[in-house]
Amino acid sequence: MTDTRVLFVPVSGSAGSGEVQRCRLLAQSLQRGWPRAEPHFLLADGTADVGFATTFLSASPTRVPQEVAEAIGRLRPALVVFDGNTRVAALVAARNAGARTVLVSSRPSARDRGSMVATR
């Protein structure tokens, strides 16, 4: 596990995404307050450059949870920030990699999914 790597996994696509921009702003703020932080993004292929290290996925992270899980296992982040939505398999992969997780969502069903995994 890299103790300074923070992995951002926003819902993303080629048409633009508020979740991607919110995560980009969070990553910029994080680096100002914690210069050793290493933001890294998992984004759908075709998503605009965010100015940080990025691993591109074949589709939005919500649609390719196995790719997300594999990337988490390979990158071994200290923290994974899911924004917009996620799949239980991705949350479990993050926990299995030793990462803390944050789920940002305005939808109660997505927040419930995150708390369900937290209690396992």
How many whole angstroms separate alpha carbon 58 and alpha carbon 67? 8
Q: How many CB atoms lie within 10 A of CB 120?
A: 8
pTM for this predicted structure? 0.87
Asked if residue 58 is part of any domain, the answer here is: yes
pLDDT, greater one: 21 or 116:
21
Asked if residue 12 is part of any domain, the answer here is: no
Helical pair 88-96 and 108-118, crossing angle rounded to 10 deg:
40
For residue 61, give Cα distances in angstroms to 10, 29, 44, 57, 58.
7, 23, 7, 7, 9
25 token code pair:
């702003």
CATH number, domain at 36?
A: 3.40.50
Asked if residue 10 is part of any domain, the answer here is: no
Number of domains in the chain: 1
Predicted confidence (pLDDT) at residue 114 exceeds the cutoff of 70: no
Rounded (5°) CA angle 28-108-65: 65
User: What integer best gives the mean pLDDT of the chain?
Assistant: 88
pLDDT value, residue 119: 46
User: DSSP class of residue 47?
Assistant: P
> Which residue range(s) make up the domain with 83?
30-104
